[in-house]
Structure 1
Amino acid sequence: MFTGIIEAVGKVAKITPTGKDISLTIDSQGLDLSDVKLGDSIATNGVCLTVTSLGPRSYSADLSVETLKLTSFADASVGSSVNLEKAMQASTRFGGHIVSGHVDGVGEIISRQELGRAIEFWVKCPPALAKYVAHKGSITVDGISLTVNEVNGAEFKLTIVPHTSDETTITRFVAGTKVNLEVDVIARYLERLLQGDSAAEKASSGVTMSLLAESGFLK
């Protein structure tokens, strides 16, 4: 479990093909690995990766076909910067929101505008994820816990303060940049709960107006 509060920015040091999968080696830069063990999880650009080997300032992890299919790591290159966060501890201050590291899909930056010291981005998400993106709700973008400031169909706006720009890779985002998206886990569970007993009987197409009405959300 993670919070979306980035601890350091690292770099992709090595990419090793292993059949259809790949192994990544990450130069952890400023991330303290002294308390990390083999098998621990580190969110890397928002993707929960399991540490398979460990160096003084680097770690390696395997990425499956499924992970490559759902994340921007399909286009990873040596030297790329990545946001890093170690798994949270019970004693850690919860500064962001609940982040699982299970990426839902890849979005695209469609515009960037400087607004004083802040940066405004518009991001386009896959149509299937649009229903989970809410005004003033939380979303994870490349592992960063962010607040949605406006929604227009499958597009949403982010306003990034200087501290976030300074401590993450987001300052490198330009129109066309592909980003890993994880929607709020509460929204995903709520959708499933609203299906009630029918969730066990058949595949559901998701939340519909009739389902909301039957569940008492509409009058």
Structure 2
Amino acid sequence: MFTGIVELMGTVIEYKPYDDTESGGQGVSVTIGNSENILGDCHIGDSIAINGICLTVTEFNKDSFKVGISPETIKRTNVSSWKSGELVNLERAVSQEVRFGGHYVQGHVDTVANMVSFIPEGNSLIFGFKLRDSQYNKYIVEKGFICIDGTSLTITNVDDDGTFYISMIKHTQENVIMPLKKIGSEVNIEVDLTGKIIEKQITLLLNSQFENKDSTLNNYIEKIIDEKVKKYLGK
């Protein structure tokens, strides 16, 4: 679990496909450098979010660490665009001592979005994004949470076509990678888990009501239909 409060910007120093003998799959291994400030309490198997992706530390030294990334994660995220020398957002998994300043972030990226606009507004920057996979548009709501490349942000507006906007203050601009990106760049998106949970619970409830012919919902629907039929027949 993460907060979406970026601790550090690290640097990709190696990106290479897995050997079959190493993983038996078609994933990649990535080594992140300039990470000394978050590795003082690191252990093999710890979780670190890189651009919002929860990944497991497989090797580390004083200044760098290595992770393995599966094919599923590569398909869901912007990992395939990472290059040596590129900066990435880093956050360690939360501990009992961490003050929860962002929102609940799993590090399970849902999809990617393209940056479609970039407008200064005073000391802030207004960024616009469009999701690659439109089925996630239903979770994008004004004043709702969203995690973009591992940064906890608030959605300020949503257009009818699904384009959504966030406002970034000067402090955040100086501590995350987003202002370094160009129009058209891909970013990792994790929508707010709360919306998914609510949708799932409502779906389960409605299904159970429909499956039970004596349920409150079915009785109510039958009552409405009876009233409409009587009205239509003039009774």
- After TM superposition, the score normalised by the length of structure 2 is 0.82
- Checking the alignment, whether the CA contact within 8 Å between 2:35 and 2:63 is kept in structure 1 is yes
- Checking the alignment, whether the CA contact within 8 Å between 1:48 and 1:101 is kept in structure 2 is yes
Question: Rg larger in 1 or in 2?
Answer: 2
Paired with 2:173 and 2:54, the residues of 1 have a C-alpha distance of 22
Q: How many residues align?
A: 203
| Aligned: 1:10 with 2:10 | yes
| Aligned: 1:107 with 2:113 | yes
Distance 1:128 1:67, change over 3 A: same
How far apart are 1:76 and its partner, in Å?
A: 1.3
Secondary structure of 1:195's aligned partner: helix
The code of the aligned residue for 2:103 comes to: H
- Checking the alignment, whether the CA contact within 8 Å between 1:5 and 1:95 is kept in structure 2 is yes
| Aligned: 1:160 with 2:160 | no
Deviation per CA, 1:39-59: give whole Å up to 9, x if none: 000000000000000110111
- Checking the alignment, whether the CA contact within 8 Å between 1:12 and 1:80 is kept in structure 2 is yes
How far apart are 1:196 and its partner, in Å?
A: 1.6
2:103 corresponding residue in structure 1: 97
- Which stretch of the first structure deviates more once superposed, 18-27 or 128-137? 18-27
The code of the aligned residue for 2:135 comes to: A
2:32 corresponding residue in structure 1: 26
Name the % identity: 37
Deviation per CA, 1:158-192: give whole Å up to 9, x if none: 11100000011111122101000000011111111
Paired with 1:30 and 1:192, the residues of 2 have a C-alpha distance of 41
How far apart are 1:128 and its partner, in Å?
A: 1.0
- Checking the alignment, whether the CA contact within 8 Å between 2:9 and 2:88 is kept in structure 1 is yes
- After TM superposition, the score normalised by the length of structure 1 is 0.88
Secondary structure of 1:148's aligned partner: strand
- Checking the alignment, whether the CA contact within 8 Å between 1:107 and 1:123 is kept in structure 2 is yes
1:207 corresponding residue in structure 2: none
More helix, by proportion: 2
- Which stretch of the first structure deviates more once superposed, 172-181 or 12-21? 12-21
Match of 1:193 among 183, 191, 201: 201
The code of the aligned residue for 1:154 comes to: G
1:176 corresponding residue in structure 2: 184
Deviation per CA, 1:66-124: give whole Å up to 9, x if none: 00000000221111110000000122100000000000001000011111211111111
The code of the aligned residue for 1:128 comes to: Q
- Checking the alignment, whether the CA contact within 8 Å between 2:36 and 2:62 is kept in structure 1 is no
Paired with 2:143 and 2:155, the residues of 1 have a C-alpha distance of 5
1:87 corresponding residue in structure 2: 93
The code of the aligned residue for 2:142 comes to: H
Match of 1:36 among 28, 42, 48: 42
Q: Give the unaligned 5+ runs of structure 2.
A: 20-25, 209-216, 222-235
Paired with 1:142 and 1:86, the residues of 2 have a C-alpha distance of 14
Paired with 2:203 and 2:167, the residues of 1 have a C-alpha distance of 34
Distance 1:26 1:199, change over 3 A: farther
Match of 2:63 among 50, 57, 60: 57
